[in-house]
């Protein structure tokens, strides 16, 4: 088993680091809030460090899951100089491809491997060890890191060179945005038509309209429940990254831009922390 460091114990990182302990690895964690680190150590019996440098200095692999590009730049800048030569930094943050490529180059100069490895599956996926991980980087580095990521993943795939993982995550978020807007309008229509949402889902959920969002969110949407993990604020962050990337590569994201504006309306309603299925709220009286 390997010596690991995990940087960032948020909603996703906290259980992911726990799965690494359960897989038999020695894990040292770091988090901006020391209280969260102490809580994690009490639950999983790993170690905690006061600084990033202390956490990574003996690690064969360093896993990172923080908030945005600025966080990635800052944490990577602090981690890489203290990492061992030939160790590997795996970034699970959803960030820009530009950020991934910058960190890849910085790590390469220090003789350290780097994989951009954004995750999909939400809080439930992290807790259940069933995340989908989209990776970018060098094939030999990926081959070394994949068995470690398997501790919390149901699917891991190398998509191409550095940045390809982040670009694939953008595709994922574009798909989710469109699916949720369609599902929101469908649930809204069903309710206005006097139909039972659960019965509608039972009737159409085995056909061409079926989706993960329908299976897992249609019923809760029908009941007006929007407290299921991935928040609107984070979705808008992700869509902003995708829209900016599309401006660079010339892709037409008309629908994605429209849904992003709808999420802005949800934020104006006070729904910053509601989950992404709360698009329905803007359609309700």
pLDDT profile of the chain (285 residues), mean per 10: 95 97 97 96 95 98 97 98 98 98 98 98 94 98 98 98 98 97 98 97 96 95 91 97 97 98 98 97 91
Dist CA 185 CA 180 (whole Å) = 9
Query: What pLDDT is recorded for position 205?
Result: 95
193 Cβ contact partners less than 8 Å away, ≥ 6 residues apart: none
Query: What pLDDT is recorded for position 285?
Result: 73
User: Cβ–Cβ contacts within 10 Å for residue 57, how many?
Assistant: 17
Dist CA 221 CA 183 (whole Å) = 9
Residue 79 CB-density burial (10 A; 0-12 exposed, 13-18 middle, 19+ buried):
buried
Dist CA 217 CA 207 (whole Å) = 17
User: Cβ–Cβ contacts within 10 Å for residue 146, how many?
Assistant: 18
- DSSP annotation of 84 reads P
For domain 3-161, give the fold: Rossmann fold (3.40.50)
Q: Which residues are identified as catalytic?
A: 169
Query: What pLDDT is recorded for position 228?
Result: 86
Query: What pLDDT is recorded for position 179?
Result: 97
Query: What pLDDT is recorded for position 220?
Result: 96
Query: What pLDDT is recorded for position 70?
Result: 97
Question: Does 167-283 match 3-161 at the fold level?
Answer: no
CA 238 to chain centre: 9
Phi, psi of 253 (to 5 degrees): -115, 50
3 state SS of 271: coil
Q: Does domain 167-283 have CATH number 3.40.50.10860?
A: no
Query: What pLDDT is recorded for position 1?
Result: 82
Among the listed residues 178, 173, 177, the one whose alpha carbon sits nearest the alpha carbon of residue 241? 173
Q: Extract the runs of DSSP E, i.e. beta strands, from the chain.
A: 3-7, 26-30, 47-48, 61-64, 88-91, 113-116, 119-120, 131-136, 153-160
Query: What pLDDT is recorded for position 60?
Result: 98
> Residue ranges per domain, the chain?
3-161, 167-283
3 state SS of 27: strand
**pTM of this structure:** 0.95
């Amino acid at each position: 088993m390997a010596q690991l460091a995990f940087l960032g114990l948020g909603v996703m990182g906290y259980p992911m680091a726990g799965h690494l302990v359960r897989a038999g690895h020695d894990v040292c964690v770091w988090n901006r809030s020391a209280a969260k680190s102490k809580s994690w150590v009490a639950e999983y019996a790993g170690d905690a460090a006061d600084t990033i440098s202390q956490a990574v200095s003996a690690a064969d692999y360093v896993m990172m899951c923080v908030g945005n590009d600025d966080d990635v730049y800052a944490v990577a800048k602090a981690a890489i100089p203290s990492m061992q030569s030939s160790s590997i930094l795996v970034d699970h943050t959803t960030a820009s491809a530009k950020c991934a490529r910058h960190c890849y180059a910085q790590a390469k100069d220090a003789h350290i491997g780097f994989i951009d490895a954004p995750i999909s599956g939400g809080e439930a996926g992290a807790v259940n060890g069933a995340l989908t991980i989209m990776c970018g980087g060098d094939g030999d580095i990926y081959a070394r890191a994949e068995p470690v990521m398997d501790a919390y993943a149901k699917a891991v795939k190398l998509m191409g060179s550095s940045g390809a993982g982040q670009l694939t995550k953008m595709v994922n978020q574009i798909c989710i945005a469109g699916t949720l807007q369609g599902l929101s309008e469908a649930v809204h229509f069903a309710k206005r038509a006097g139909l039972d949402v659960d019965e509608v889902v039972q009737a159409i959920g085995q056909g061409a309209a079926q989706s993960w969002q329908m299976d897992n969110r249609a019923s809760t949407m029908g009941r007006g429940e929007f407290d299921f993990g991935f928040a609107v604020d984070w979705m808008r962050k992700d869509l902003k990254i995708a829209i900016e990337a599309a401006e660079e590569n010339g892709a037409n994201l008309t629908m994605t831009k429209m849904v992003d504006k709808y999420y802005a309306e949800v934020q104006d309603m006070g729904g910053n922390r509601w989950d992404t299925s709360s698009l329905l709220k803007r359609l309700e009286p």
